[in-house]
Amino acid sequence: MPIATPSQYASMLDAAQKGDYAYPAINISSLVTLNAALKGFADKKSDGIIQVSLGGGKFASGINVGCSVEGAIVLAEAAHRLAKKYDILIALHTDHCQPDKVDSFLKPLIAETTKWRAEGKGNLFQSHMLDASELPLDENMKLSIELHKLCAENEIILEVEAGVVGGEEDGIDNSDQPAEKLYTSTEDMIQVHESLSKIGRYMFAATFGNVHGSYKPGHVKLRPEILKEGQDAVIAKYGEQARFDLVFHGGSGTPTEQIRETLSYGVVKMNIDTDTQYAFTRPIADHMYKHYDGVLKIDGEIGNKKQYDPRSYLKAAEQGIATRLGEACDDLLSTGKSICGTV
């Protein structure tokens, strides 16, 4: 199935809202991780979201090019081609983009979708994330409104964030943020709705203590009830049509019971990156330890080509990500719920 059209993406989000489940959103940075993501979703018969960060795009473009936009486009184009081989729906998304990167990352990618649409090829990306949480909310919403209008013209869904996701991810370090900034207030959630709802559909990463990275149990103090309180408040004031499509950032390492609690509060997308990075690297490390004498030419020996051939361990890495992503589909209750072929 080709990558989801804008209307199919909307149907995906509607189905998740109605069915109290959510889609894993997995970051990729290479063809191996892209194939792993497609395999993971397909094996679980789950639709899903594949996303590219600035760092992931830069890595994918190679050391000499080092361009986030070029790498993101290359990965998206590859996804459009490879997704046709699978009977699931996939949406393409870009992860955290700070205000100072909007002109050099988001706007060029939106322009690329505009070009694709003019050529009759549909959308390159189905959604993008603006992370302007570093700004006061009024300034955040001013920039969000500008980008939301630009996205809406191209049937792109914009994801915004109010409140700060703690920890460090892809070069973005919020580990020193004061605790109160990790929890989005009900008043802020209402302001986000009032600022963006008239323009078109959007997704909202409201924060409830979530932190990027993976931590031992008890380290992260999640308060999922914040999502319910904000959701209830906006619906009470503006009706059921005001319900947020919420996004859960920093999902790696979260206990299943807390993940499941957020689903009934309107979470339709959960980002997973740290755990899938580990799932990629763990089988590679295992291969190296088990085949140390084969992957290295020691004491004048010639090694074992079959063991140092990158395909021998990258295949295991692909399987590692696919397996961990499948666990996320189970946790988020998206397993077996693909709407491919019905929309």
Say which residue the tokens 């996004």 belong to. 247
Q: Are 42 and 330 in contact (CB under 8 A)?
A: no
- Beta strand ranges found along 189-341 (DSSP E): 202-206, 246-248, 267-272
95 is catalytic: yes
| Integer Cα distance of 11 and 17 in angstroms | 10
Q: Which of 137, 136, 128, 141 is nearest to 101 (CA)?
A: 128
Nearest 5°: the CA angle 30, 35, 38 is 130
Q: Are 102 and 15 in contact (CB under 8 A)?
A: no
Structure tokens at 251: 């999902």
| Integer Cα distance of 308 and 291 in angstroms | 9
253's CB contacts (< 8 A; 6+ apart) are: 213, 214, 215, 220, 274, 275
| Integer Cα distance of 87 and 85 in angstroms | 7
215's CB contacts (< 8 A; 6+ apart) are: 253
Say which residue the tokens 């914040």 belong to. 226
Choose the catalytic residue: 47, 95, 131, 275. 95
> Which residues are the active-site residues?
95
